[in-house]
Structure 1
Amino acid sequence: MYKGQKPVRNSVAPSRLQAGTILFMTVARKTDIGYFLKTGADEVFLHKNESHGPLDMNEEVEVFLYHDHENRLAATMDLPYVGMGEYGWLEVVDLSSKMGVFLDNGINKHLLVFIDDLPKLRDEWPRPGDRLLVALKQDKQGRMLAKPVTEQEVLQISVQADESMRNKNVEATVYKVIAAGAFLLTEDDHIMFIHRDEMTERMRLGQTVRCRVSFVREDGRLNGSMRERKEVQYGEDAEKLLRYMNNRDGAMPYTDKTDADIIQDKFQMSKSSFKRALGKLMKERKVEQVDGWTKVIKQED
């Protein structure tokens, strides 16, 4: 868990209690269903379900303030994984097509990442079980929301990589998706960029993948790939094309002149990967190109 600051005990009573605050409060009154807690002139209610056991009058307890399901400011003794002024990884637990995604922040009420803070394309939204690197913010009504971390916050977390990382396999989680690819943070906090041509599938925010470091930049950032090293990938791509043709009577209407978009759609590989694989097969005299078609060369017995 990454945090911008640790929760601190309040030495001066705030003039206005706010959601997202962790503070110590004193039991001022008891009811059948809970306790009224006080700090300075302010009071807030702690339901028995949010207490870690019976409390005594004037007992001091540490609580987290949030808006309950009826939008009332309330207290819980369950402390959040991420508080105001902090940031960290939280798990996605639910999705709403109209509102956004909900995260588990360690308390009964889940934390919302509003739809405006998510990618415009729905297939780039995180799924339940994914993890988002977020900070907390408040809306105009003072309610807590989560938002993906900014690039500046990622820089505070990140660690520069050295050349020894090249060609290593790492686990990394997507924290930002753009048209050209995706930015990830590795398990060792290195920033990595994977271009869409180096993806084996379309990536989404919060997705964790196993990938290979293809290049270490001078600034300590990494370029990554979900593909095998070229000498391995050539062979796999070539076998994929050969299988495709053998399942179509030994031919396909695609050559090294075919448009890149068609290649990507049919084979989920870039035009350059397609040409390398095709070149390998032609060099090995396994295929030939004739009149806009690629055909398997029948081997003589």
Structure 2
Amino acid sequence: MIEIGKLNRLKVVREVPFGVYLDGGDAGGILLPKREVPEGCQLGDRLQVFVYLDSDDFLVASTRKPKAMVGEFASLKVTDVNKVGAFLDWGMPKELFLPYGEQLRPLTVGDWCTVYLYIDNTDRIAASAKTERFLEKSPTDLSVGQLVELLILRRTDLGYQVIIDHRYQGLLHHQDLFRDVRAGQKLTGFIKQVTPEGKIDVMLDKPGYARVDPLAQKILDYLEAHNGHCPLGDKSEPDAIRDTFGVSKKAYKMALGSLMKAGRITQDEQGVHLT
């Protein structure tokens, strides 16, 4: 069964001059446009594709992955506003519709808005900024120290409200923040506590880790921004270290040592890796 707004693994059943058709089961053939057909694709191949409705409301497939899929939350940029609602850039040719009735405030082009993606009553993919009604209330599957994905929702007097693993709402307290964050930012974090009432506190550092010094934090930030890898190890050239981090090789080696001792990183011949 096809899942609209999500990734599907579908079989190539027919070639045409403008692409290939994939087996959509009861939904019939689903076109994958020629510009997105992988090189060397043949009949019988199974491709992982994102399925959505095009501008004419026909099912179409894409090998591109959108910035968010149905059932997920994301911060997206407003690209257009008209009398029926706003339209958001979600990385697909057809922009994502955010109806006026699903907005929390008036939006203008260039604004960023955190939304939840859902299937509306016409089977189209749509967005809602009324995120709280899509969040689960009973976090029975979370434990202290668990690694989770966070989306920063908004700043409050106590800290930042966050969305946890596209399912729950939690709080990142100011006292647990040792770096700048902003609304709409995606981060990894850890569960700090879950109260009997179901309230969830999170941290960006694993519970039990000591706060790191500014250089060590700069290294961690670099790793997070580069898929967890830095080619500069403790045997790298001093000039390369100074060009990247603005510090001496000795200072860099000391920071690496503290991070390895804390279990935050590993090091091999390819460089430094975030654990």
TM-score normalised per structure 2? 0.48
TM-score, scaled to structure 1 = 0.45
